Amino acid sequence: MEPRQIREGYLVKKGTLLNSWKAVWVVLSEDGVEFYKKKTDSSPKGMIPLKGATLISPCQDFGKRMLVFKITTGKKQDHFFQASHVEEREFWVKDMKRAITCLEGGKKFARKSTRRSIRLPDKVNLTELHTLMKDQDDGVKELKLEQENRVFNHCFTGATVVEWLISKEKARNTAEALMLATGLLNEGFLQPAGDLSKEGAESGEQSVFLDQTTALYYFADSGFFCEGYSSDEDVLLKQEFRGNIVKQGCLLKQGHKRKNWKVRKFILRDDPAYVHYYDPTKGDDPLGSIHLRGSVITAVEHVPDAKKYDIDGNLFEIITSDETHYFLQAATTEERKEWIKAIQAVSKSGK
């Protein structure tokens, strides 16, 4: 029997490899949680089995990050999700607990696998391999490498890892070396350092290790750090970014030029009154900000210049004091109400 779909919507998920939090489309079924990079993707980026899993909500592991809950699988792997408001988190947690209880009662499902597995030989011990790679005399050398006006300390290239695995007879050929390196990446022993390697790690249903001299990686427990970032962000943090976070979550936003719709992560701050939006696939640098003081926020049923297949319901509009129009879409009617209420309050009270 195929599992029945219970709930779907946008959540923010902590990466299993990186510490970044990214917006994903999540589908909860009776036997597991699938998450997609985009709502329109045909195959999931990952699947979390619920049999034998446990839930912790609220999860307090991340300080100021609110509305987080944790799923721990039967194999003791942790997955962290963040909802956009309290009610949404409670709905997800309640439905997941119900699904877990049914599985504990012996209910079984049959489903076709939608993701490719990395099949490592039984004799391979990734922990031992990681220890050998870190050997100061005979392991992979950690270097200081420069790329795109940034200096990466204590890192190495993907090509270096592949060459080392073959030269030390840990792999017979490039294909086996890439399989081992991908296993190390999936288990968190290796971390991507530059933009290219990060794109590879997040590109497929399984993390992809790149055999390239421009793809940079580092040992997770090393002294890696990167220099050369602009200090503009520090200036912003002293101004519009200093307000308390009132609400955060994922919404669809219409672009001003192409009028297309993309998932953006929004963070609403109260004093000063700003909502900042981010590309959840590219890190924590904001794409833009909306000054909310004196703004008008209202629900709408129609968006100019929008094709019918682009959007469907749960729309709202922000009109700023300089008459700039922003059109947004929430995943549910309740979520739209929550956002409108929060933004209206901040627009009246914030500076």
Look up the CATH number of the domain holding residue 265: 2.30.29.30
Question: Under a CB-based contact definition with an 8 Å cutoff, are residues 183 and 119 in contact?
Answer: no
Q: Do the domain assignments include residue 39?
A: yes
Range of the domain at 267: 245-348
Residue 218 lies in a domain: yes
- For 170-197, write each residue's pLDDT tens digit: 988 888 899 899 888 877 788 888 888 8
Q: Are residues 255 and 203 located together in one domain of the fold?
A: no
Residue 120 covered by a domain: no
Total domains present in the chain: 3
Tell me the C-alpha distance between 297 and 62, whole Å.
Answer: 31
pLDDT tier at 69, thresholds 50, 70, 90: very high
Q: Which of 43-57, 111-125, 134-148, 245-259 has the lowest mean pLDDT?
A: 111-125
Q: Which of 71, 105, 139 is the last residue of a domain?
A: 105
**Whether residue 89 is found in the same domain as residue 137:** no
> 236 pLDDT exceeds 50?
no
Pair 97, 151 in one domain: no
Confidence grade of residue 116 (pLDDT, cut at 50, 70, 90): very low
In a domain, residue 239? The reply is: no
Claim to verify: residue 222 and residue 268 sit in the same structural domain: no
Go through the chain and tell me how many residues it has: 351
> Is residue 112 in some structural domain?
no
Residue 122: per-residue pLDDT: 57
Domain co-membership, 260 together with 182: no
Give one word for 294, left, alpha or beta, with left for phi > 0 and alpha for psi -120 to 50. Answer: left
Same domain, 251 and 222: no
Structure confidence by residue, pLDDT tens digits, 150-173: 888 889 999 999 999 999 999 888
- Which structure tokens are listed for 58? 């609220």
Which pLDDT score, from 0 to 100, does residue 153 have? 87
- Asked whether residue 117 is domain-assigned, the answer is no
What is the pLDDT at residue 243? 72
Q: Does residue 143 sit within a domain?
A: yes
Look at residue 42 and tell me if it is in a domain. Answer: yes
User: What residues contact residue 341 under an 8 Å CB cut-off, 6+ apart?
Assistant: none
CATH code assigned at 199: 1.10.10.10
3-state secondary structure 47-84: EEECCCCEEECCCCCCCCCCCEEEEECCCCCEEEEECC
How crowded is the C-beta side of 240, counted as CA atoms within 13 Å? 17
159 lies in the same domain as 252: no
Q: What is the mean pLDDT of residues 21-34?
A: 88
Q: What is the pLDDT of residue 230?
A: 44
Look at residue 114 in the predicted model and tell me its pLDDT: 44
If asked whether residues 36 and 98 sit together in one domain, one would say yes
- Decide which of 50, 70, 105 is a domain's last residue: 105
Residue 247 has pLDDT above 60, yes or no: yes
